[in-house]
Amino acid sequence: MGYTILKENDYISKYIQDEESKTIILKAVKSHNKFAIEDGLNDRELFFAKPIRDADKLDILDKQRNEVNDNSTTIDDDVLQTFKEH
C-alpha cells in the first residue's frame, strides 16, 4: 500500500528531485514486506532494499514475540528452529 500511495501521488517529489533516488526508494518500499526481493535490482537498489525488508521482518518478529509473551504461550519448536537456521 505504501508503494502505491508514494507512486500514485508522487509524494517522493516533495523531498527528492533525483529520478534515480526516487526509483531506489520506490523499489525498496515495494520489497519491504516480501519474502524475497524481486530479481533484477542493481547493487545500489539492493543496498537499500535489503535492510528495509529485514527491518520490517524484525519488527514483525518483535510484535509476535510480544504477543506470545502477553498470551503466556510459546513459539512452536519447528518455527523457532526455522528462524535460527535462516
| pLDDT, tens digit (0-9, with 9 covering 90-100), for 57-82 | 888 887 877 776 666 566 788 888 88
Estimate the share of the chain in helix, then strand, then coil, as percent rounded to the nearest 5: 70, 0, 30
Q: What is the pLDDT of residue 4?
A: 87
C-beta neighbour count of 24 within 10 angstroms: 20
Chain center to CA of 58: 9
pLDDT tens-place string over residues 5-16 = 888 888 888 888
Q: Who has greater pLDDT, 69 or 52?
A: 52
Q: What is the pLDDT of residue 3?
A: 84
- Tell me the C-alpha distance between 23 and 44, whole Å: 11
- To the question of pTM greater than 0.95 for the whole model, the response is no
Q: Who has greater pLDDT, 67 or 28?
A: 28
- Tell me the C-alpha distance between 77 and 18, whole Å: 47
Question: Of 20, 21, 54, which is closest to residue 37 (Cα–Cα)?
Answer: 54
Percent pLDDT > 70 in the chain is: 92
